[in-house]
Amino acid sequence: MAAVTAEKPKRQFVFPTAYTILALLIIVMAVLTFIIPAGRYDLDADGAPVPGTYHQVESNPQNLRAAILAPIDGMYGIKAEDGLIDPYNSGTLYGAIDVGLFIMIIGGFLGISMKTGAIDAGIGAIVKRLGTRGTTLIVALMAVFAAGGTSYGMAEESLAFYFLIISAIIALGFDALTGVAVIMLGAGIGVMGSTINPFATGIASGFAGIPLGEGIIYRIIILVVGTAIGIWWVLRYARRVQQDASTSMVADMKADNEQHFLRRSEGSETPELTGKRRLILGLFGLAFAIMVYSVIPWSDLGLPIPTLFWWFPELAALFLVFSIIIGLVAGMAEKELVDNFIDGARDLLGVALVVGLARGISVIMNNGLIIDTVLHTMETSLGSLPPVLFINAVFLVYLPLSFLIPSSSGLATVTMPIMAPLATFAGVPKDMVVTAYQSASGLLNLFTPTFAVVTGGLVLGRVPIATWWRFVLPLVGILGVMIMLVLTVGVLIGG
């Protein structure tokens, strides 16, 4: 009798993590530096590229050593004289170390705050008050994040909110993906429809030589309609999950996510909201309120409010100070406070590493001198198009450019001195090119792995990047069609 051989189970394809995807992208970009000719535009006195001055330069292909060092260089940042060529940032490629340190300190801040029981108690109070009306919270939060995105380009700052908001969303019967979508789509669609955002619309309008308010009506339409579509998309998914948890796109992680974000086992009671915990929640909220106030450029918005111009070093110090204050108010001993802070920082270490990997892609492209060549190719292909085709082609061209240059301010600095004159030749108002640029940049940054806010937010929310793409890409298509319709109408009316 022949022996029965057990059939080996077939291996199922598992989509790689964000770390692997970013590492592969670094390698792909390094290979492209051997294929794409190196080139540069001449720069004016302000460091902006001059249209028509593109010329090829000696290639600087990035070898295996450069690819391996790219994430490290991306974390530290390097001066041009040390080998990195990045004229659009005044000779300096700013590293991700400030963002990474900020993220780990936020982790420590959350670790201490969670240990006090105040966050669990506050979330329990919200759940009790809202009952089955959790959708109200989703709508309100997305509107608030959209306001932050459209006004001052809220991006990396949103990483500080993930743990708290996802915890509340899960406690209300939704899932981690819903929480990620509330923040990422809320702020992201706000940036996509930037109205007075000085870091996107302001810089682009300046390089285009037009006032900030020119074309604002079309940006308001994109903001309002886009936010409404985004809220509808998230609510549609959230209600389905609330009614049947098995329909969640992260259903296999449900128990693990509940334990991680709620920090308590099934059946345990919610901590009581005592007076001390109310005070801690007040301090917790005050830290975030100071952060939001300190990063908004009030002077650039024409408002008579003192502008602090804080950025990640100051924000990291802010949360470090509040970590200590909250620990002392909670009555923690010195060793307990330090241990809780380190445990919290350890939880977000992976997010900090993702930020460095994402920045490493920019290091390879800048060192390989290929960005200007890509830009020049697109410049020469758009010049003779009729107005409606031109503006929609500009929007589509900005999508891959946003992948190469995920920074909205950097993208405006590099491209607008070239795209704005082209608009004049095509008979298209310059403000429509500004709108096309910021809409495309904002749209792509809802899902591109080269944008640290996306990869960092997904790691924080414990949502695989493939799952996020399945959730968000149909919405991206809907938003893209809406934007192109608005751009078409704007050109027909203003042309």
**pLDDT band of 90, cuts 50, 70, 90:** very low
Q: What is the pLDDT of residues 192-203, one digit of tens each?
A: 998 877 667 877
Q: What is the pLDDT of residues 253-298, one digit of tens each?
A: 988 888 888 765 444 566 788 889 999 989 988 987 887 788 777 7
The angle formed by the CA atoms of residues 15, 172 and 235, to the nearest 5 degrees, is 65
pLDDT given for residue 384 in this prediction: 74
The angle formed by the CA atoms of residues 19, 20 and 22, to the nearest 5 degrees, is 70
Strand locations in 174-310 (E): none
Q: What is the pLDDT of residues 396-406, one digit of tens each?
A: 989 988 887 77
DSSP code string of 319-347: HHHHHHHHHHHTT--HHHHHHHHHHHHHH
Q: What is the pLDDT of residues 290-315, one digit of tens each?
A: 877 887 777 766 778 887 878 778 88
CA distances for 350 relative to 95, 102, 223, 227, 463, angstroms: 17, 13, 33, 30, 13
What is the DSSP secondary structure assignment for residue 36, as one 8-state letter? S
| Pairing verdict, β 55-56 and 92-94 | unpaired
The whole-chain average pLDDT of the chain stands at: 82
The angle formed by the CA atoms of residues 34, 38 and 44, to the nearest 5 degrees, is 160
Residue 276 and residue 330 in contact, taking contact as beta carbons nearer than 8 Å: yes
**pLDDT band of 80, cuts 50, 70, 90:** very low
| pTM (2 d.p.) | 0.71
Tokens of 176: 């981690």
CA atoms of 339 and 345, how far apart (whole Å): 10
